[in-house]
Structure 1
Amino acid sequence: MGYSVVLGEALMDLLETERDGEVTYRPAIGGAPLNVAVGVARLGGHAEYVGTLGGDTLGDRIADFLRTAGVGVRGVRRVPVPTTLALTTFDGAEPTFTFYGEPPSYALLEPGDLDAELVAGAAVLYTGSIALLREPFRAAARAAWATPGPIRVFDPNVRPTLLPGPAAVAALRELTDEFIATADLVKLSAADARLLYDGAEPAAAAERIRRLGAAAVVVTAGAAGAHVATADGATTLPAPAVSAVDATGAGDSVMAALVRRLLAEGTPADLADWLRHVRFALAVAGLVCERPGGAVAMPAPDELTRRWGDLP
């Protein structure tokens, strides 16, 4: 089993909560790519996080958290700016994010900062999310994506608060399509699909993405499960029934679980294998939703077994 390179943002979430009748904000380490890297490590895989961290105390805490979680930090570069904050509010269990910090500490990775040997040696390469909206990170991600060898996985992880109008959405669609065209796996949410593709439902969005070149597509839809599309067919899988308290990081845990399976077994041969992996990923996400925290909610294999029994 090889390792995965996870390329993208790490930041500090401020999670809205209530204490003694007052609204307060609890700091929690986050960022979708960081969540993916931690999720892979918690599931027993080897993940190397590649990105920039602020040069402040919060950046120190993120770096320490990654090391403690068992994530490799060989590709981390520290930058002399404050760590970006993501104010996280909730509608039920679903989070909404508002970002603070300019320039964003997470988007300052340059192509020359990449460890070419680390990227080329990876079995799986992940990129996506909000870091792609900014340079120089976007150029670094393109350089890594062009490296031959790794299985390429992509997640646009759309954040509407960073898209001020139709022109910004169109620009993100064009950028997303660029990465999709050569992706082995694209994972996105139903909300991402609706925003990017003019209200498209999961099946229609997955077919569009497949036509662009992606080998496999997984569109997650919360409690409604996930739509899976490959060259030999498509179907929708139900999600396990859970009592959700916090959906932060649930989509990232799906990606982490899929990356973990790709590390263990390589690229699936057919739709049936993809469905097996997605059922596993939905079980991981269900457990994440049953506890608060994003990155700290990512489960270990023994926790999955206690909650769901043996998973194929």
Structure 2
Amino acid sequence: MGYSVVVGEALVDLLDGRCGDEPVYRQAIGGGPLNVAVGVARLGGDSRFVGSLGDDALADRIRDFLTAAGVGISGTITVPAPTALAVATFAGAEPDFRFYGQPPSYGLLTADDLDVALVEGADVLYCGSIVLLCPATLAAARRAWRLATGVRVFDPNIRPRLLAGPDALDTVRHTTAEFAASAHLVKLSAADAEVLYPGEPVERVAVHLRELGAGTVVVTLGPDGALVAAGADPVRVPAPTIRAVDATGAGDSVMAALVADLLVDGPPTDPAGWTDRVAFALQVAGLVCESPGGAVAMPTRDAVARRFAT
């Protein structure tokens, strides 16, 4: 089994909650790509995180967390900035994030900072999420994408609150098309699809991304499961029945499960193979939704097997 490289952000989530009658914010290590890296490791894969981390105590906690989770951090750099924060409030189980920290500690990795040998040796390369809004790290991701010799996976993971300015959406749409055009796998949420292509059915969005050049497209649909576009016609895969308390990291866990299986068996040889893998990934996401937090909720394969034993 080879290893995966995840290029993206790490930050600290402040999750809205209560302690008795008092409102509190619970601290949690976060960032969509970090969640993916941790999820891959928890599922038995060799995972390496590449990104920029701040120079404060919160960044030290991120490093310690990744190391304890079995994620390699040799590709990370330290930058002179406080760790960025994502403050999450909830409407039911769905988090709404607002981001704090300028410059963002997660967006300062440059193309020259990349460990070329690490990227070239990866069996799977993940790029995506909000670091692509940061010019320096977008350049780093583009370089990693060009260097990659293995499977390339992409997740736009769009946060509308970060899209400032009249051209922001067009820029994100262009970046998504750029990476999707040479991706073996694109994973996005129905919310991402709506931001990118307002009013378009998810089936049409998935087909469009494949027409751009993506090999397989998976669109997560929350409690309705996922759409898989890998063959002639998109297929819907139902989600398992769960008791959701916090959907933070659910989409990231789907990507983590797909990456972990790519490390074990490589890409499926037919569309049905992708459908089976997405069904397992939705079980992983279901278990994540039954626990609070994102990265800390990523399960092992044994935990998934126990929860969904038939």
TM-score range, shorter chain: over 0.9
Tell me the CA shift for residue 166 of structure 1: 5.0
C-alpha distance in 1, partners of 2:172/2:111? 20
Whether 1:208 and 2:228 are equivalent positions in the alignment is no
C-alpha distance in 2, partners of 1:116/1:252? 25
Unaligned runs of 5+ in 1: none
Whether 1:257 and 2:260 are equivalent positions in the alignment is no
Whether 1:122 and 2:122 are equivalent positions in the alignment is yes
Structure-2 residue corresponding to 1:10: 10
Q: Which amino acid aligns with 2:240?
A: P
C-alpha distance in 2, partners of 1:150/1:107? 24
C-alpha distance in 1, partners of 2:127/2:138? 10
CA-to-aligned-CA distance 1:67-118 (integer Å, 9 cap, x gap): 0000001101011110000011111000011000000000100111111100
Whether 1:43 and 2:43 are equivalent positions in the alignment is yes
Structure-1 residue corresponding to 2:154: 154
* Secondary structure in 1 matching 2:75: strand
* Secondary structure in 1 matching 2:147: coil
Structure-2 residue corresponding to 1:292: 292
State whether residues 193 and 199 of structure 1, in contact with CA within 8 Å, keep that contact through their aligned partners in structure 2: no
State whether residues 255 and 281 of structure 1, in contact with CA within 8 Å, keep that contact through their aligned partners in structure 2: yes
Structure-1 residue corresponding to 2:301: 301
Structure-1 residue corresponding to 2:88: 88
**Percent of aligned pairs sharing the same letter:** 60
Structure-2 residue corresponding to 1:229: 229
TM-score normalized with structure 2 length = 0.98
TM-score normalized with structure 1 length = 0.98
C-alpha distance in 2, partners of 1:148/1:238? 33
State whether residues 122 and 148 of structure 2, in contact with CA within 8 Å, keep that contact through their aligned partners in structure 1: no
Structure-2 residue corresponding to 1:73: 73
CA-to-aligned-CA distance 1:252-306 (integer Å, 9 cap, x gap): 0000000001000101111100001100100000000011110000001111111
Map 1:106-255 onto structure 2 (within 5 A).
Answer: 106-164=106-164, 166-255=166-255
How many residue pairs are counted as aligned between the two chains? Answer: 310
Unaligned runs of 5+ in 2: none
C-alpha distance in 1, partners of 2:48/2:236? 31
Structure-2 residue corresponding to 1:24: 24
* Secondary structure in 2 matching 1:136: helix
C-alpha distance in 1, partners of 2:111/2:286? 37
Bigger Cα displacement from structure 2, 178-187 vs 161-170: 161-170
C-alpha distance in 2, partners of 1:166/1:221? 28
CA-to-aligned-CA distance 1:188-229 (integer Å, 9 cap, x gap): 000100110122222111011111110000000000010000
What is the RMSD of the two structures over their aligned residues, measured on CA atoms?
1.0
Q: Which amino acid aligns with 2:39?
A: G
* Secondary structure in 2 matching 1:293: coil
State whether residues 215 and 231 of structure 1, in contact with CA within 8 Å, keep that contact through their aligned partners in structure 2: no
Q: Which amino acid aligns with 1:130?
A: I
Tell me the CA shift for residue 54 of structure 1: 0.3
C-alpha distance in 2, partners of 1:267/1:147? 19
C-alpha distance in 1, partners of 2:266/2:81? 39
* Secondary structure in 2 matching 1:233: coil
State whether residues 3 and 122 of structure 2, in contact with CA within 8 Å, keep that contact through their aligned partners in structure 1: yes
